[in-house]
A = this chain, B = another copy of it.
Amino acid sequence: MEIKIKNLQKIVRKIFLKKKFNKQHSDICSKALINAELVGAPSHGLSRLKMYCDRIDKKLINPKPKIKIRKISNSISFIDANNSIGFVAADTAIKTLIKNTKKTGIGLVGVKNSGHYGLSGYYVEQAVKKNLMVWCFTNAPPAIAPFGAKKTLFGTNPICFGTPSGGKAPFILDTSVSMINRGIIRVAARLGKKIPAGVALDKSGNSTTNAKKALRGVQLPIAGFRGSGLAWMVDILSGVITGAAHGGKVRDPFDDFRGPQNVGHLFLAIKPNIFIGKNYIKRIKENIRIIKKLPRAKGFDAISYPGENKAKRFSKNSKKKINLPREIEKDLEKLVSASS
C-alpha cells in the first residue's frame, strides 16, 4: 500500500488516541514511528505498532503516565517514567537534557521505568539541532551472549553519539554493539526473508541465515570481548545506575507479557563550543572535509560520515508516499477498526 505521510500520521495518531493517550503523547509516538520509516529503518517503525498496542491493552504500557522529573542539580535530572511508552519517556528526557545543558554547559539525565523508544538517533538529533553534542544510551532485552558465555544476556545496547557537523546533515553515529540490529532480524522473520551469514547463531550454536532461528538463538557481538564490553558498559549506564532493569532482566516487548519492560536510558550532553568557542564548527567542518577527501576503497562512491546517508534517505523519502508491506497494512487496518 502506498500512502501519503500526512495520512499515515493521522492514522497512527488516531490509534494512540483511541488507546487513551493524550494528544501530545499520540503526536510524539506517531512522529517517532514514522520518522523511523522515513530514515529507512522500518525495523524500528510501524512493524512495532501492533506490539506497542498489545502491551497497552495488557496494561504493561501506561497510556496515562505520571512522569516524575527530579532535579538533582542544574546539570542533572532523574526521571521515573512510570511505565510510559518509551517514545514519551525519551522525549521528556531529551527536552530536560537540552534545558540542563544550555544552562550549565554539561547535562545528564537518567531514566527508569521506561520502554523501547525506537531509534536513539531520533532523540540525539533533537539535541544536535540545538547545537549540542550528545550521547544516548539504552539497554534492551537479551540478544547477545557476553564474551565467554553461551547464553544471551545483553541487549543489542546501542551507543548513539551526535554533534553538529557544520553541514546540512548532523553527525550521528547510532550503532548497536551486535553485528546486526535485532529489529532487522524481526522484520526478516515476519516477511520470511533471510539474514546475512555470520551475524547470528541458532539455538544449538550453529551459524544460521534463517531469521526465525536466529531470534531463538544468539546474536553475535562485534569484535568479541570489545563488543561484549561495550554492551556491558551500556547495561551499567542504562540499567544499573538508574535503578531500571539490568543483567538480562529487561523484558522482551514482543514475547514477555509478565510485566512492564523497565528499560533504562542515560542521556548526556555538552556544549561543543565549551573549550574553543566558535572555532568548533570551523574545526568539525575541516575534520569531515579531510576525511571525505581520502582516496576511496574499491566499491565506494563516497566516504560518508555517520548520519549522512540517513539524512539523505529522510529527505528523499519525505517527498514521496510511504510504501508499506502488506503485513504492516493489515496491522494498521486491524488497529484502526478495533480501536474506533
Pick the interface stretch among A7-15, A299-307, A313-321, A327-335. A299-307
B233 near A223 with CB under 8 A, answer no
Pick the interface stretch among A41-49, A56-64, A82-90, A141-149. A141-149
Interface 0/1 of A285-296, CB less than 8 Å to B: 011001100111
With a cutoff of 8 Å between Cβ atoms, the chain B residues found around residue A105 in the complex are 72-73, 75-76, 108
In this complex, what residue of B is CB-closest to A165?
Answer: B236
**Is A69 close to B, CB under 8 A?**
no
The listed residue with most B CB atoms (<10 A of its CB), out of A145, A179, A241, A294, is: A241
A291 to nearest B CB, angstroms?
Answer: 5
In this complex, what residue of B is CB-closest to A276?
Answer: B243
**Is A197 close to B, CB under 8 A?**
no
B175 near A229 with CB under 8 A, answer yes
With a cutoff of 8 Å between Cβ atoms, the chain B residues found around residue A108 in the complex are 105-106, 270, 274
A154 to nearest B CB, angstroms?
Answer: 8
B223 near A179 with CB under 8 A, answer yes
**Is A169 close to B, CB under 8 A?**
no
Could you tell me the distance between the alpha carbons of A57 and B108 in the complex, rounded to whole angstroms?
Answer: 44
Could you tell me the distance between the alpha carbons of A285 and B12 in the complex, rounded to whole angstroms?
Answer: 43
**Is A1 close to B, CB under 8 A?**
no
Q: For the complex formed by this chain, how many copies does it contain in all?
A: 2
**Is A214 close to B, CB under 8 A?**
no
B247 near A159 with CB under 8 A, answer no
Interface residues of A in 149-193 (CB under 8 A from B): 149-151, 153, 159, 161, 163, 171, 173, 175, 177, 179
**Is A235 close to B, CB under 8 A?**
yes
Could you tell me the distance between the alpha carbons of A243 and B133 in the complex, rounded to whole angstroms?
Answer: 16
**Is A253 close to B, CB under 8 A?**
no
With a cutoff of 8 Å between Cβ atoms, the chain B residues found around residue A18 in the complex are none
In this complex, what residue of B is CB-closest to A243?
Answer: B276
Q: A173-B229, A222-B223 are in contact. Are A151 and B306 (CB under 8 A)?
A: no
**Is A16 close to B, CB under 8 A?**
no
**Is A338 close to B, CB under 8 A?**
no
**Is A65 close to B, CB under 8 A?**
no
Contact of A173 among B232, B272, B304, B305 (CB under 8 A): B232
With a cutoff of 8 Å between Cβ atoms, the chain B residues found around residue A72 in the complex are 105, 274-275
**Is A226 close to B, CB under 8 A?**
yes
A306 near B229 with CB under 8 A, answer yes
Q: A149-B303, A246-B287 are in contact. Are A76 and B294 (CB under 8 A)?
A: no
With a cutoff of 8 Å between Cβ atoms, the chain B residues found around residue A274 in the complex are 72, 76, 78, 108, 110, 241
A41 to nearest B CB, angstroms?
Answer: 15
With a cutoff of 8 Å between Cβ atoms, the chain B residues found around residue A226 in the complex are 175, 177, 222
A53 to nearest B CB, angstroms?
Answer: 31
Top 6 closest pairs, chain A to chain B, by CB = A222-B223, A149-B294, A247-B290, A148-B300, A173-B229, A148-B303
**6 CB-based A-B contacts, threshold 8 Å:** A72-B275, A75-B75, A148-B304, A173-B232, A232-B305, A241-B275
